[in-house]
Each structure stands twice: as C-alpha cells, then as structure tokens.
C-alpha cells in the first residue's frame, strides 16, 4: 500500500536528516568553507543512513510501538523542516495532517477500541495537527511582520495597484491562519476516519474467508 510506503519513508528519513543537519550546522558554526560544508553534509547523510540501516537490520523496530512523545517530536521536526524549506509558507505543512490521521488509525485498529475511545483518539490527533498548524501560521505571520519588505514583495508578486497596509497584512494573516487551522483539522479527521473504516472492512473480509 502506498500509505505504508509513505510512513516508512517518513519515519526512515528522520535519523539521516537529523545527522545531515547536525553535520551541516556544525560546519557552518565553525566558519568552514563551502567545500568543507558540502563534505560535512554528505558525511552526515551517509552516517545517518548507516545508523538507519542497523536500526532496521536489528528487526525490533516498529513505527506503531513508538511513544506518543517521540511521535510528537517527529511531527514537530518535520513541520519545522517544511516551514524552513518552503521559506515560511505554511500551506505545504497541510500534507502532515492526513499522514498523521492515517498513521493513528493504523496504530489503533489492532486494539479494536470502542466507539467512544475511537472518537476521542480521532479528536486528539486532529486537534494536535491543527494546533501545530496554528503555531506554524503564527511563526509565518511573525516573520512577515518583522520583514520590512513584505508589503512591497506582496504588491510586486500580485501586481497590485495599491499599497499593502499593516491592517491588510493582519487581516490576511488572521483569515489565512484560520483557514489553515480548520483545514488541517478536517484533513486529519477525514484521513483517520477513511483509513480506519477501510482497515476494518478489510479485516472483516479477510476473517470471513
């Protein structure tokens, strides 16, 4: 299933990415030249891949047995990475809501929870992803307001015939943040609900044979 493949990539890339970033930042902080920074970055990636290989080879690692605190850290890590990579544009962080909903549904399905517990868990993961999206939007708004060129950039980008005021920026930030917050909640909720129902139906079909 493509969903399982995505989860394997998401969880499998954590260690290599952390190692790559640690080596890269270390080289940057000591003021190394471009060639050394590049070499350090590649070395960090290779080291991370080697560590990941031995983790997988050990055979005792299961992404569905990770602690909630670890899952939260991984989610926040990827949210920050995407926020930085896409230069503070929060729309790309919406991809993580459905992934979280899919994962949480798969994690719970084998426990066969009752309807009350299932509803609570679905709400928890949806609220969590929405809150993280809200924080991402706040960060985006902060950087937009602290950058003196934001208004001019928006005017040029959209070829506006009027000046963009601070009031307009505030209105856009609030409206956009609210839309992203609500969207992330429902994307997570729908992904969870659809995944759980599909897995439950698949299990019933398998057991009936």
Q: In terms of domains, do 47 and 72 share one?
A: no
Residue 209 lies in a domain: no
Q: In terms of domains, do 76 and 54 share one?
A: no
DSSP state of 30: T
Residue 159 lies in a domain: yes
Q: In terms of domains, do 195 and 174 share one?
A: yes
**Which residue, of 40, 61, 82, is where some domain finishes?**
61
Q: In terms of domains, do 97 and 50 share one?
A: no
pLDDT tens across the length of the chain (209 residues)? 677 888 888 998 999 999 999 999 899 888 888 899 999 999 999 999 998 888 777 766 788 888 999 999 999 999 999 999 998 889 999 999 999 999 999 999 877 778 888 999 999 999 999 999 999 999 999 988 888 777 777 777 677 777 777 788 889 899 999 999 999 999 999 999 999 988 877 766 665 55
Three-class SS state of 153: helix
* Closest to 37 measured CA to CA, from 25, 19, 50, 49: 25
Q: In terms of domains, do 47 and 128 share one?
A: no
Predicted model pTM = 0.86
What is the full DSSP assignment across 158-170? TT-SSPPPHHHHH
Residue 1 lies in a domain: yes
Residue 26 CA, distance from chain mean position: 24
- Which residues are CB-contacts of 110 (< 8 A; sequence separation ≥ 6)? 64
Per-residue burial over 100-114, b = 16 or more CB atoms within 10 Å of its CB, e = otherwise: bbbbbbbbbbeeeee
* Closest to 8 measured CA to CA, from 65, 66, 62, 73: 62
Domain count along the chain: 2
**Which region holds residue 67: left if phi is over 0, alpha if psi is between -120 and 50, else beta?**
beta
Domain limits at 18?
1-61
How far lies 156's CA from each of 91, 159, 208, in Å?
20, 5, 62
Q: In terms of domains, do 78 and 138 share one?
A: yes
pLDDT in tens, 125-177: 999 999 999 999 999 999 888 887 777 777 776 777 777 777 888 898 999 99
């Amino acid at each position: 299933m493509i969903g399982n493949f995505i989860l394997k990539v998401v969880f499998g890339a954590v260690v290599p990415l952390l190692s790559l970033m640690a080596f890269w930042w270390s080289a940057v902080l000591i003021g190394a030249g471009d060639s050394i920074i590049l070499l350090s970055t590649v070395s960090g990636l290779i080291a991370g891949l080697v560590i990941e290989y031995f983790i997988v080879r050990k055979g005792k690692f299961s992404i569905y047995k990770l602690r909630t605190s670890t899952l939260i850290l991984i989610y926040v890590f990827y949210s920050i990475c995407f926020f930085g990579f896409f230069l503070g544009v929060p729309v790309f962080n919406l991809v993580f809501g459905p992934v979280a909903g899919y994962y949480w549904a798969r994690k719970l399905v084998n426990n066969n929870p009752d309807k009350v517990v299932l509803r609570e868990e679905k709400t928890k993961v949806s609220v969590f992803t929405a809150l993280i999206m809200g924080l991402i939007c706040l960060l985006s708004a902060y950087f937009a307001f602290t950058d003196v060129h934001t208004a001019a950039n928006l005017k040029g980008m959209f070829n506006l015939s009027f000046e963009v005021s601070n009031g307009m920026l505030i209105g856009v930030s609030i409206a956009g943040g609210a839309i992203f917050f609500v969207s992330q909640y429902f994307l997570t909720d729908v992904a969870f609900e659809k995944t759980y129902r599909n897995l439950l139906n698949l299990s019933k079909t398998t057991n009936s044979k």
